[in-house]
Amino acid sequence: MKVLFLFVLLVFASSVPIYSQKFENLAATPPMGWNSWNGFGCNVDEKMIRGTADALVSSGMKDAGYQYVVIDDCWHGERDTQGFIRPDETRFPSGMKALGDYIHSKGLKLGIYSDVGTKTCGGLPGSRGHEYQDAMTYSSWGVDYLKYDWCNSGGLNPVGAYTTMRDALRAAGRPIVFSICEWGDTKPWEWAKDVGHLWRTTGDIARCWDCEENHGTWSRWGVLRIIDKEKPLRSFAGPGHWNDADMLQVGNGMTVSEDRSHFSMWAMLSAPLMAGNDITKMTGETRRILTNKEILAIDQDPLGIQAFPALSEGGLEVWAKPLSKEAWAICFLNRGNTPVDINFNWKENTIDDAFSNRKLDTLTATYKIHDLWAEKEIGTTNTPLSSRIPSRDVLVVKLEKVTH
């Protein structure tokens, strides 16, 4: 059987069209799911993944839109004598196909991890030289999402390396969302639109508000640092091709205010939402943040337009995101360490977005205001918006035009 599998591999690898392409009609909105890395690192096994899939369902996260269960680094065993990758038999005794079947039985989707190099970031077998074998294997396991890292790349050209795996996935025939994890080093937003469905724009996210964890040749970045790096990239994002601000750290040690701001801003940025906490043990507050359907709707708006900082004063930023049906999301982000009192006069602060050709014209139109965290209406744009925003917190509102 394995000889036949290898023969099939050789046939389809040699018959790949010269001009291949990624799978279309995937990731029309930013992908949502859970990834093992931020919460568990290399401590992954079959029991934990099954338990997480169960918890995604029982917690209401599946119903809120989270669908991918992504097993990050360290699931790998060794390659067999013909070069096919196998999972670690101690950690995944039932095998990946059985685990994928279980995840699919819950109405969820299976995600997996590999690397362009000969070794992953954790030192396990990467995909270099085995791209078509691995793509075929993932397809046979029922994989729906591939995160493809950049460790041990040994001077590879990233465009060529990621295009090779894109073509391999296409040849394998199973539609798989392709997540490019190149850390933004070579500006993938400029070249990856036709290669993958999302691309990392920065190094890894840290569990902090405003910090850099410097590791010499690379750094982890706090929430604010990543937000700042996203500001010039909005024109590159849209349905089927997203700027990836990295996986969420909600529930991993920051304050509730910081978690709420982090989650709100990822939604404003139209970022993929991959939870990274222990779903089986999360607090009620963490669950409420991750499953706020009105904030999620901002992220999943079908226009897919990334927000921009329309106004800034001191430590307060006002971010604006055009939405479908002529609506807007506005996020007042308090970056600082002290509360900020606002008295925002909508008539004096019209917002014009040349990129989307949209204008929030509060002089000639009236919008009703809905507070997305308080979950209540708070007036219209005919009167100033007064509020106190705690330190490192947000006020997020949706504006909908009043029709007469």
Report the distance separating Cα 203 and Cα 182, nearest Å. Answer: 8
Give the CA distances from residue 65 to residues 107, 263, 291, in Å, rounded to whole numbers and listed in that order: 11, 15, 9
Report the distance separating Cα 330 and Cα 338, nearest Å. Answer: 21
Secondary structure (3-state) at 329: strand
Q: Active-site residue among 72, 115, 144, 204?
A: 204
379 and 313 Cβ atoms separated by less than 8 Å: no
| Residue 124 neighbours by CB under 8 Å, 6+ apart | 73, 74, 76
Active site residue 204: yes
DSSP state string for 65-95: T--EEEE-SS-EEEE-TTS-EEE-TTT-TT-
Q: In 10 A of CB 363, how many CB atoms?
A: 10
Q: Active-site residue among 149, 244, 299, 301?
A: 149
DSSP 383: S
263 and 296 Cβ atoms separated by less than 8 Å: no
| Residue 314 neighbours by CB under 8 Å, 6+ apart | 336, 340
Active site residue 149: yes
- Catalytic annotation, residues: 149, 204
